[in-house]
């Protein structure tokens, strides 16, 4: 136990035969259960997990017959942890990328009840990002901005970080079966947590890269996740601010999108009016700029209201 709390650690693993054993060996002694999830790996990952479990009674092997994705693997671990009565469940990747010495820093704010979810932050300064490629940093930065808007956690810095800790209360509240099973699970999970009013905190820690190779293809990942976040944002607006409660920021967002779209149409009309009809562009251009400014003002006001709602407390 850690500070009188039962701690579980979920370790999702897919084709990690080189690093799964060092990862399992690195789990601190205060952890009560280790849920090692073999996500239908075609290599020796599953057998290595089983072999290690014979030496460490804390390790609970979980084997998927079909690959469910990293999110699906973590959800399987979460469910087992809930059934075993764990108070807090952390996630450490099977590629030995998460430094176990920082695990207490992730657990402490959840143990103390300050937040229900803590997530690592590798982007806080250049020193902590050492070893992260520029392309990976740019991709993370773009997705961080999109996730801030979609999730409503505007102070969050590194939502793609898989090094996390979550309370039992949060896991019992959200619908685990509806979490996105792929690499966007951590972003989708944040949307669910914000919708039900759970507090989240960043925990700075340095990135640690070694033999592992990222399985994320950012060229397609950013596009796919952007669509996921757009749908998640719409769902959060409907569920949090219309179904569970009410806040006029929904109308501000709608008005912002409407006026911005209208300004775009006016802009196209202004170009047609100038170059096709050979008339003065001044009037339609001015109208386009004014309508665009109104739309932006509505969007910024909606974001400001959303920021004010952040971390107010748990509703359910």
Q: Are residues 110 and 192 in the same domain?
A: yes
In a domain, 241, yes or no: no
Q: Are residues 12 and 66 in the same domain?
A: yes
pLDDT, tens digit, for every residue of 302-313?
Answer: 999 999 988 665
In a domain, 238, yes or no: no
Q: What is the mean predicted confidence (pLDDT) over 19-23?
A: 96
Q: Average model confidence (pLDDT) for the chain? A: 91
Instruction: Work out the percent of the chain whose per-residue pLDDT is above 70.
Output: 91
Closest CA to 93 of 203, 206, 177, 16: 16
pLDDT, tens digit, for every residue of 131-146?
Answer: 666 767 777 788 899 9
Domain with 113, as residue range(s), is 5-220
Q: What is the pLDDT of residue 310?
A: 83
Tokens, residue 310: 């952040």
Can you tell me the distance from the alpha carbon of 312 to that of 280, in angstroms, rounded to the nearest whole number?
Answer: 52
Q: What is the pLDDT of residue 99?
A: 92
Residue with the larger pLDDT of the pair 53 and 156:
53
Boundary-marking domain end, from 186, 220, 254? 220
Q: What is the pLDDT of residue 315?
A: 42
Which has the minimum average pLDDT: 10-14, 119-123, 255-259, 292-296?
A: 119-123
Q: What is the pLDDT of residue 160?
A: 86
Q: What is the pLDDT of residue 279?
A: 87
pLDDT, tens digit, for every residue of 204-248?
Answer: 988 776 655 555 666 677 788 899 999 999 999 999 999 999 999
Interacting residues of 275 by C-beta distance below 8 A, sequence separation 6+ = none
Q: Are residues 23 and 98 in the same domain?
A: yes
Q: Are residues 188 and 297 in the same domain?
A: no
Boundary-marking domain end, from 185, 220, 255? 220
Q: Are residues 26 and 142 in the same domain?
A: yes
Can you tell me the distance from the alpha carbon of 103 to that of 149, in angstroms, rounded to the nearest whole number?
Answer: 28
In a domain, 126, yes or no: yes
Q: Are residues 203 and 262 in the same domain?
A: no
Boundary-marking domain end, from 171, 205, 220? 220
Closest CA to 232 of 276, 180, 286, 191: 191
pTM: 0.90
Closest CA to 50 of 39, 64, 36: 36
Q: What is the mean predicted confidence (pLDDT) over 246-262?
A: 96
Q: Are residues 115 and 155 in the same domain?
A: yes
Q: Are residues 86 and 138 in the same domain?
A: yes
Q: Are residues 251 and 214 in the same domain?
A: no
In a domain, 316, yes or no: no
Q: What is the pLDDT of residue 316?
A: 38
Q: Are residues 259 and 189 in the same domain?
A: no
In a domain, 95, yes or no: yes
- Where do the DSSP E strands lie in the chain? 7-13, 33-38, 59-63, 88-91, 117-121, 164-167, 200-204
Q: What is the pLDDT of residue 209?
A: 66
Q: For the chain, how many structural domains are there in total?
A: 2
Q: Are residues 94 and 196 in the same domain?
A: yes
Q: Are residues 212 and 255 in the same domain?
A: no
In a domain, 288, yes or no: yes
In a domain, 201, yes or no: yes
In a domain, 240, yes or no: no
At 21, which CATH number?
Answer: 3.90.550.10
Can you tell me the distance from the alpha carbon of 105 to that of 205, in angstroms, rounded to the nearest whole number?
Answer: 9
Residue 126 clears pLDDT 80, i.e. is over it:
no
């Amino acid at each position: 136990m850690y500070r009188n709390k039962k701690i579980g650690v979920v370790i999702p693993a897919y084709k990690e035969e080189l690093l799964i054993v060092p990862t399992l060996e690195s789990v601190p002694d205060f952890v009560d259960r280790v849920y090692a999830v073999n996500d239908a790996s075609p290599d020796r990952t599953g057998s290595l997990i089983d072999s290690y479990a014979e030496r460490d009674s804390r390790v609970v092997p979980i084997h998927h017959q079909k690959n469910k994705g990293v999110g699906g693997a973590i959800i399987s671990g979460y469910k087992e942890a809930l059934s075993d009565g764990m108070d807090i469940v952390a996630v450490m990747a099977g590629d030995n990328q998460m430094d176990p010495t920082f695990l207490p820093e992730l657990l402490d704010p959840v143990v103390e009840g300050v937040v229900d979810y803590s997530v690592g932050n590798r982007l806080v300064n250049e020193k902590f990002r050492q070893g992260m490629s520029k392309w990976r940093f740019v991709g993370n930065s773009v997705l961080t901005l999109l996730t801030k808007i979609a999730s409503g956690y505007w102070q969050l810095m590194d939502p793609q970080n898989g090094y996390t800790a979550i309370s039992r209360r949060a896991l019992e509240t959200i619908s685990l079966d509806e979490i996105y099973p792929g690499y966007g699970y951590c972003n989708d999970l944040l949307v669910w947590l914000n919708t039900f009013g759970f507090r989240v905190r960043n925990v700075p820690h340095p990135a640690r890269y070694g033999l592992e190779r990222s399985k994320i293809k950012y060229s397609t990942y950013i596009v796919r996740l952007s669509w996921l976040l757009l749908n998640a944002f719409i769902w959060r607006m409907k569920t949090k601010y219309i179904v569970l409660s009410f806040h006029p920021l929904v109308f501000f967002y709608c008005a912002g999108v409407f006026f911005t779209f209208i300004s775009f149409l006016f802009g196209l009309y202004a170009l047609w009016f100038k170059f096709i009809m050979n008339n003065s562009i001044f009037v339609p251009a001015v109208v386009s700029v004014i309508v665009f400014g109104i739309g932006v003002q509505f969007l910024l006001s909606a974001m400001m209201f959303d920021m004010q709602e952040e971390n107010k407390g748990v509703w359910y």
